[in-house]
Amino acid sequence: MSAFDHDSGTTVLRRKPTIQPARSWQSWLIGRPLSTADAPHLVLTLDTTGWRSVEVAYLLRDLDPGADDAVQPVALQYRVGAAGDFTNVPAGFVADATTGPGLAELVTPVRAVLPADAEGRPLVHVRVITTNAADSDEWVGVDSIAVSGLEDRPAALKVTAPRRLWLPRALRLGVPARVGADEAVALRITLRIPSWLARRLSLPLVVGRAVGALDGAGSVRIVTRFSAGARRKLSQARAVRVTLRVSARDTAGNETIMSRRVLLFR
């Protein structure tokens, strides 16, 4: 068998859920080293732009039921760019991916996160490679290949809130807002008053809090209510300008913050 260098074409880790398989391949054979092919291998070409913690996972299958029982090592390697030496990924090394003699049943799962210098790169080569065993070599298959990662871009956020509200009603019922995002997020909302007013009334800057969540792309209506102390001390004001601050954190830990100012008047 000749050395098998499969280039699947550039794979872009596309944005959907925060952790997701970008692309999968099935049943590639890296084969048995011969005198003309001492290191059969499989090469994947990735575009990891906008992604971090890129993980490569696959199954190694013993395909050789013959009389041989070689120690057949398989390594996972990577390089950044189109040229240069490959670097071993220690978590992806399998000392012996085969059993025998007369057996072809072993399936070895491999799962490894690429080093940080493979993150956010337009071209990364990932190689699964074997080499000559001490005795007669055996056939090894690579199956169920999947590449996944954590998205490096925070959620796109949209916040709609009224610009003006009647102060007594806002103190009684709260300040409503509709919050939308293009992925699942946890939401934290605060109402803040100006620092000069907080000092004058002996109130904290944050006078109201609310939490919410989106399970996926969409929107939700959330009402943020004032604290009891803020309701009492703001009840005599003629007008108050508050800042509605929305924090959205996706499951990858990326945070988006957006604010809206609302005038409360009599």
pLDDT in tens, 51-75: 888 999 999 988 877 776 778 889 9
- Which residues of the chain does CATH 2.60.120.260 include? 7-151
Between 5 and 28, the higher pLDDT residue: 28
pLDDT score for 131: 80
pLDDT score for 137: 67
Residue range 157-265 forms a domain whose CATH class is mainly beta
Convert the pLDDT of each residue in 211-254 to its tens digit.
Answer: 999 999 999 999 999 999 999 999 999 999 999 999 999 888 88
Q: Which of 77, 182, 199, 68 is nearest to 136 (CA)?
A: 68
Convert the pLDDT of each residue in 22-53 to its tens digit.
Answer: 444 444 545 554 445 578 888 899 988 888 88
Half-sphere exposure at residue 23, Cβ-oriented, CA atoms within 13 angstroms: 13
- Which residues of the chain does CATH 2.60.40.2550 include? 157-265
The answer to whether 175 and 206 are in contact (CB under 8 A) is no
Q: What is the CATH number of domain 7-151?
A: 2.60.120.260
pTM of full prediction above 0.85: no
Amino acid at site 98:
T
SS3 121: coil
Percent of all residues in the chain with a pLDDT value above 90, rounded to a whole number: 57
pLDDT score for 22: 43
Averaged over 139-160, what is the pLDDT?
87
* Per-residue confidence band for 1, with pLDDT thresholds at 50, 70 and 90: very low
